[in-house]
Structure 1
Amino acid sequence: MRPFRFATVALATAALALPLLGGSASAASPAGPKAPPHAHGSHDRLRAAAPEGFVIGTAVAGGGHHLEQDYPDPFTYDKEYRKVLGREFSSVSPENQMKWDYIHPERDRYDFKQADAIVEFARKNHQVVRGHTLLWHSQNPAWLEEGAFTKAELRGILREHITKVVGRYKGKIQQWDVANEIFDDQGNLRTQENIWIRELGPEIVADAFRWAHKADPKAKLFFNDFNVESVNAKSDAYYALVKDLLKQRVPVHGFSVQGHLSTRYGFPGDLADNLHRFDALGLETAVTELDVRMDVPEGSLPSPAQEKQQAEYYQRMLEACLDVDGCNSFTIWGFTDKYSWVPVFFEGEGFATVMTEDFDRKPAYYALRDTLKDARHDDCGKGGPKGPKHRH
């Protein structure tokens, strides 16, 4: 997500004892989730409609802006939310629960309760997990940003964090956003905002990938950012950096575009071209945080024309990903307007997800489902699934 910071508050331990959706005890494979026991043969759900080897995911609401809202933690307390989460998606991403301020609130204390609950939920529902995120300039705890650390101490803190967090979920997390939003829109490194790059230099990015790979050699390690859907200065900077790191044999496995879009702007029509050039480097690609916000006056609802345009944006993002062999992970940033981050940060904009607050499906939902169905049918006709690349 785009950068913002919040104070971290502790969740009640007892809350995490609430029952989650059940399922088989077998863990999901890093190569892709198995079909759940309650799969719908009619392909009436997103995960069932998807081609084999292609995961459709969502962010798991919690932490961040949710802590300041007048509702309890969505993942912990909203049973209907969890039901839809398990039924519709084959991949989950902690929205805030694995970010530094949440999972590492004090220098000598980690809080894994909520992250553990999400990973366990995924196991029970035959879902894979995207870890988010290890190195970022935002949502860092005050003890880190305001501490008087030497360079050696700071380097040790980052190495310990990555090793401990990634190692805890070894074999349980499919992809990690290792370095998140390290460039600005002009393609310059965030040398002032990002404490790691500012204090330790650009080389720390490569070290972060090396440490994560050592902690879990099978996890796919990604760069992740917004405003990189098109071929532009920002995505060019990532392209140049990735080529350089690959020459150094740094274990970079993927490049992902977030896709926080708005109908007030045009659609990034060169998305597929952009993904193809990273694919040509041998990287996997992914769409990781897609939502499409609309301008809607307070107290009003989107018009049919607005919802049609929104559905088109969702569909075109998915089609671009499906067009690239190594784009096997497609994640929307929340699936219900009930818990969307958009209205909190974009005044006058909202209704950015594929379901209403009551979990009713919007045209955008059906656009995704039908596009997945078409892709599944095409793959069956070609005699082979859309499978993940294994080049590293």
Structure 2
Amino acid sequence: MSVRRSLVIGTVGLATVLAAQTTALALPSADSAGAQAAAAARPPGAIVEGSLRALASTTGLRIGTAVNTDLLGEDAAYTEIVNREFNTITPENVMKWEVVEPQQGVFDFTGADEIVKSAQANGQLVRGHTLVWHSQLPAWMATNGGTTTTLTDQQVKDAVKKHVQAEAGRYKGRIWAWDVVNEAFNEDGTPRQSIFYKAWGNSTDYIADAFRWADQADPSAKLFYNDYNIEYTGPKSQAVYDLVKKLKAQKVPIDGVGFQTHLSTQYGFPDLQATMQRFADLGLDVAETEVDVRTAVKPGATEGTFTSEPLSALHAYTQQAYWDQTMKACLFVQRCVSYTVWGVADSNSWIPGVFPGEGAALLFDDDYQAKPEYTVISQDLALAAGKARHRTGEGSGGR
């Protein structure tokens, strides 16, 4: 999801990372038998000492992961990691429009209900993802990547209102935060020419309406605008800044901005802390919502295939430095309220399917063993213990 930028070797902070390895925390394992035994012995929602959720709790930071419902509850090792390490979960797909309303007016919340039920049983909060997005729309709603529709403008408006209020309303009081609108701008800062933009008369006013409707359906949920590549200074980040500043001025019920933070070691590290602080200074919460750090990986035994092993030690160390900087950026911005990793293990990451030759982007390897990247962010959280606490806000109280 990252656009090409000038090639910069991202070795910032490598000395710190390498030094940290000498005092690394014990890496947790999650073999199937061990995972089943650990899960059975631990009461639902119990916090495991040394886990990411335990370490994050000392700072007030919410730490989460994106969850695949095909694996949650079915794969013991996967499920053990999700419930042990994270205190928020984000559904990868089951709350997206094409899943919950495959036919107009016919809703299917089976997978979404499963996510919410699991979170409640394990003492976790849910980040709802996502209410209005041009992608993964049902065929009755749009075609051509969300740019064309057979519906009239008024029908699109009516469908958006009904969808937002039906989904947000179903989980009223049970969703901590919603990504209300996702990825509404192009890289050059122009509004994406989605069916929503067109239905509102070539206007981003649909964004304000979506937030208002979400707030009406669930006043207790935090409401976020979410996007990628806004971590970098440039026209897209500026366009989002101008948008949310305008929404605040119009008293639209927006609580925060989500920075997806899909990064690659072939590009320079963004000025993430300063960028998030700029948005926070508008009186908004900020969050890193879809963190992963991909790098070039070694080829597999068969031509055209790849492993989940970084191409070199430099690639691996650069990844660790990037993870360190993403976590520190959030910890250093008082209004950064959550840090969410987009997936659990390299074996179930979206990266290899979209970026051939890149991968190794998550905290656990193909066998669910914690990687040095896990140690890096664990140590950052441990060092932050007892420092100024982040606002965790159980809802929209400070809006």
Alignment TM class, shorter chain as reference: 0.7 to 0.9
CA–CA distance in structure 2, aligned partners of residues 125 and 264 of structure 1 = 37
In the other structure, the counterpart of 2:27 is none
CA–CA distance in structure 2, aligned partners of residues 273 and 245 of structure 1 = 21
List aligned pairs for 1:157-196, cutoff 5 A. Answer: 157-191=159-193, 194-196=194-196
CA–CA distance in structure 1, aligned partners of residues 104 and 71 of structure 2 = 27
Q: Which amino acid aligns with 1:135?
A: V
3-state secondary structure, aligned to 2:289? strand
121-130 or 46-55, which moves further after superposition? Answer: 46-55
In the other structure, the counterpart of 1:350 is 359
Shift of 1:306: 2.1
Which structure 1 residue ranges, 4+ long, deviate > 6 Å from structure 2?
21-24
- Correspondence 1:59 to 2:66: yes
- Correspondence 1:291 to 2:289: no
In the other structure, the counterpart of 2:250 is 248
| CA deviation vs aligned residue, 1:183-241 (integer Å, no higher than 9, x gap) | 011110002xx111122232111000000001011111111111011221111111111
Shift of 1:53: 2.1
3-state secondary structure, aligned to 1:145? coil
- Which of 320, 337, 351 is equivalent to 1:328? 337
Percent identical residues: 42
Instruction: State the TM-score, normalizing by the size of structure 2.
Output: 0.82
The RMSD of aligned alpha carbons is 1.9
List aligned pairs for 1:246-285, cutoff 5 A. Answer: 246-268=248-270, 270-285=271-286
CA–CA distance in structure 2, aligned partners of residues 23 and 258 of structure 1 = 35
| CA deviation vs aligned residue, 1:142-200 (integer Å, no higher than 9, x gap) | 11115522222211111010001001111111111111000011110002xx1111222
In the other structure, the counterpart of 1:203 is 205
Are 1:75 and 1:82, in contact at CA under 8 Å, matched by a contact in 2?
yes
CA–CA distance in structure 1, aligned partners of residues 244 and 41 of structure 2 = 39
Shift of 1:37: 4.9
In the other structure, the counterpart of 1:49 is 55
Are 1:122 and 1:128, in contact at CA under 8 Å, matched by a contact in 2?
yes
In the other structure, the counterpart of 1:386 is 390
CA–CA distance in structure 1, aligned partners of residues 192 and 377 of structure 2 = 35
3-state secondary structure, aligned to 1:231? coil
| CA deviation vs aligned residue, 1:123-153 (integer Å, no higher than 9, x gap) | 1111111111111111111111155222222
- Correspondence 1:101 to 2:98: yes
Shift of 1:313: 0.5
List aligned pairs for 1:142-161, cutoff 5 A. Answer: 142-146=139-143, 148-161=150-163
Aligned residue pairs total 344
| CA deviation vs aligned residue, 1:336-370 (integer Å, no higher than 9, x gap) | 01210000000111111110011111111111111
- Correspondence 1:310 to 2:319: yes
CA–CA distance in structure 1, aligned partners of residues 182 and 59 of structure 2 = 28
- Which of 355, 370, 378 is equivalent to 1:361? 370
- Which of 128, 131, 138 is equivalent to 1:131? 128
Unaligned runs of 5+ in 2: 3-38, 144-148, 301-306
Q: Which amino acid aligns with 2:384?
A: A
Unaligned runs of 5+ in 1: 3-20, 25-34, 63-72
CA–CA distance in structure 1, aligned partners of residues 268 and 53 of structure 2 = 28
3-state secondary structure, aligned to 2:155? helix
Instruction: State the TM-score, normalizing by the size of structure 1.
Output: 0.84
- Which of 93, 107, 111 is equivalent to 2:108? 111
3-state secondary structure, aligned to 2:257? strand
List aligned pairs for 1:62-81, cutoff 5 A. Answer: 62=69, 73-81=70-78
CA–CA distance in structure 1, aligned partners of residues 45 and 244 of structure 2 = 40
